[in-house]
Amino acid sequence: MKLAFVLDPLDSIKSYKDSSYAMMEEAARRGHELFVLHQENLLCRDDQVRAQVWPLRLTGERYAWYDLGEASEQPLSDFDAVLMRKDPPFDMEYVYSTYLLEQAQRQGARVINRPGALRDYNEKFSITGFTRFTVPTLVTRQETEIRAFLAEQGDIVLKPLDGMGGASVFRLHGSDPNIGVVIETLTHYGRRTIMAQRYIPEIVHGDKRILVIDGQPAPYALARIPKPGETRGNLAAGGRGVAQPLSQRDREIAEEVGAALRADGLLLIGLDVIGDYLTEINVTSPTGMREIHDQTGFSVAAMMLDAVERTAG
């Protein structure tokens, strides 16, 4: 198969920990042709979506991990699958990319994940469709509502709807002297909508990333355990990743949410679960494949390539 990956700049990708690299490595092992492009390489000429793409060869080195061939312009429909793996931020340029990819899809391209679903499933807000798996949650930009929610719950977490990697996530107690400034900062004085959730004490045991592929969860989660003094388990915030088998509750959440999102064109998702509760649904570029493989020997990348071959072949 010919596979095109929409990626961040290649020099920013760490081959020893990146899930996109793990997928490319598995695809190369299976003999598939690899091509790479970036958001700015997408274009629509008249009605046809094309892109400047580069053939990609993996060198097997840790740092100088790729060689690029000569660039060419090709219709995206020429590829067996186009994997959208651009990291957030989810800004307007990302939205424009989904418009282009959606047009390419109408022309016969197989885009993973489905571009319309990438737009529709905000990675924070989308948990509101699965409330039987969540703690009490509030989405608003009104300070009075947030204060009332804090008074009711006693201990909450506030986060922006467009954040990633644990950025701008705050924990607030009812007696915190910084309640006002935190709310003002996050909501931009009532101009930006945010999410509030009841604090989950089980975060000390890790924020579990569960990878779900074509509706089925991988058998291991990556528990991101916060460093001392932190309430965020994100690896980008200094958390430590520990692979562990799924619990019965993990599997229940993953199978129900995975089936619903699979039906909407999301082949690969990453669920964040703290204790017994779903906290986020990652659809843009879920990670954790390398850590799970390194610690358990189970290849989530192989599971993903099986799904790509099954659905695009």
Q: What is the pTM of this model?
A: 0.94
Query: Could you give the CA distance from residue 127 to residue 278 in angstroms, rounded to a whole number?
Result: 7
Domain ranges of the chain: 2-115, 136-199, 202-312
CB atoms closer than 10 angstroms to residue 297: 9
Q: What would the pLDDT profile of 237-292 be if each residue is shown by its tens digit? A: 678 899 999 999 999 999 999 999 999 999 999 999 999 999 999 999 999 999 99
Whether 232 sits among the annotated catalytic residues: the reply is: yes
**Arch. (CATH architecture) of 2-115:** 3-Layer(aba) Sandwich (3.40)
Q: What length does the chain have?
A: 313
Is 61 part of the annotated catalytic residue set? no
Q: What is the pLDDT of residue 233?
A: 67
| Active-site annotation holder among 50, 85, 86, 232 | 232
- Would you call 113 a catalytic residue per the annotation? no
Per-residue pLDDT of 290-308, as tens digits, reads 999 999 999 999 999 999 9
Overall CATH class of domain 136-199: alpha beta
Residue 124 is among the residues annotated as catalytic for this protein: yes
pLDDT score of 84 more than 70: yes
Q: Is the pLDDT of residue 133 over 80?
A: yes
| Catalytic-labelled residue, pool 208, 282, 290, 291 | 282
What is the structure's pLDDT at 239?
81
Q: Which of 86, 110, 114, 159 is catalytic?
A: 159
Report the CATH fold assignment for 202-312: D-amino Acid Aminotransferase; Chain A, domain 1 (3.30.470)
What average pLDDT is seen over the chain? 95
The active-site residue, picked from 85, 124, 198, 208, is: 124
Measured N-to-C along each axis, helices 289-296 and 19-29 cross at an angle, to the nearest 10 degrees, of 70
